[in-house]
Homo-oligomer: A and B are copies of this chain.
Amino acid sequence: MKDYCFGIDIGGTTVKCGLFRTNGDLVDKWEIPTRTEDAGKNILPDIAAAVKAKMSEKNLTADDVEGVGVGVPGPVRHGKVPVAVNLHWGETDIVGILGGLTGLRVCAGNDANVAALGEMWKGGAEGCSDVIVVTLGTGVGGGIIVDGKLVEGAHGAGGEIGHGHATDELAEPCNCGNTGCLEQVASATGIVRVAKDELTKHPEIRTALKDDGGLSAKAVFDAYKTGDDLAEIIVNRFAKYLGAMLGAYACVTDPEIIVIGGGVSKAGEPLIDIVTRYYKEFAFSACKNTPIVLARLGNDAGIYGSAKLVLNA
Contact = CB atoms under 8 A, between A and B. Distances in A.
Contact of A286 (B147, B160, B252): B160
Nearest to A256: B154
Interface string A15-54: 0000000000000000000000000000000000000000
Contacts of A177: 285
A182 to B, nearest CB: 8
Q: What number of copies of this chain does the assembly contain?
A: 2
A153 B130 CA distance: 7
A165 B164 CA distance: 12
A291 to B, nearest CB: 11
B178 A253 contact: no
A157 B252 CA distance: 8
Q: Which of A147, A149, A250 has the most CB of B within 10 A?
A: A250
A158 B253 contact: yes
B158 A254 contact: yes
Contact of A253 (B163, B164, B253, B255): B253
Contact of A157 (B153, B155, B161, B284): B284
A244 interface: yes
Interface string A252-288: 1111100000000000000000000000011111110
B254 A252 contact: no
B286 A156 contact: yes
A160 to B, nearest CB: 4
Nearest to A153: B254
Q: Which of A158, A176, A252, A256 has the most CB of B within 10 A?
A: A252
A283 B177 CA distance: 10
Given A178-B281, A282-B178, A251 B163 contact: yes
B247 A164 contact: yes
Contact of A254 (B154, B249, B282): B154
Contact of A151 (B146, B178, B287): B146
Interface in A98-121: none
Contacts of A92: none
A111 to B, nearest CB: 16
A71 to B, nearest CB: 18
Given A130-B154, A151-B146, A160 B251 contact: yes
